[in-house]
Amino acid sequence: MKAYTTYKIFATAKQRELVNITEDVAKAVAEAKIREGMVLVSAMHITAGVIVNDNESGLHQDIWEWLETLAPFRRDYRHHRTGESNGDAHLKNLLVHHQVILPITKGKLDLGPWQSVFYAEFDGQRPKRMVIKVMGE
């Protein structure tokens, strides 16, 4: 088995943002020269996540509204007693998770017809890393 690792740095302009990273993942798969295997895409911060879904703006708005309903910004999170103000970002991460594993088939990222890969930022406007690890034969 071979492995290939690359990192991407994000510093989003907004506090909360979805960034389409499908091409970044596909590029890493191509650079790895792995024909059959998998690729792990992982946000390396606990206030960000990785999502696979449709690249449709209405759905993106629905996702943000759903996340805000389940993990709303509030001033009274216990986490804020530490001097932080991002308790909701940590909870949003739990809802979408911080990583995904995707298939590689015949040397290509093997997504469904409507699937795109997104970096989901819940507490942005500062540099954060993401790792893309390609594994296989």
Structural domains of the chain sorted by starting position, each given as residue range(s) with its CATH number in brackets: 2-55+97-136 (2.60.120.460)
Distances (CA, A) of 103 to 41, 85, 90, 133: 11, 37, 28, 12
Report DSSP letters for 79-111, one per residue. GGGGT---HHHHHHHHHH-SEEEEEEETTEE--
pLDDT (tens, 9 = 90+) of the chain, 137 residues, equals 999 999 999 899 999 999 999 999 999 999 999 999 999 999 999 999 999 999 999 999 999 999 999 999 999 999 999 999 999 999 999 999 999 999 999 999 999 999 999 999 999 999 999 999 999 99
* Owner of token pair 């690729």: 39
- Its pTM stands at 0.95
Tally Cβ neighbours within 10 Å of residue 29: 23
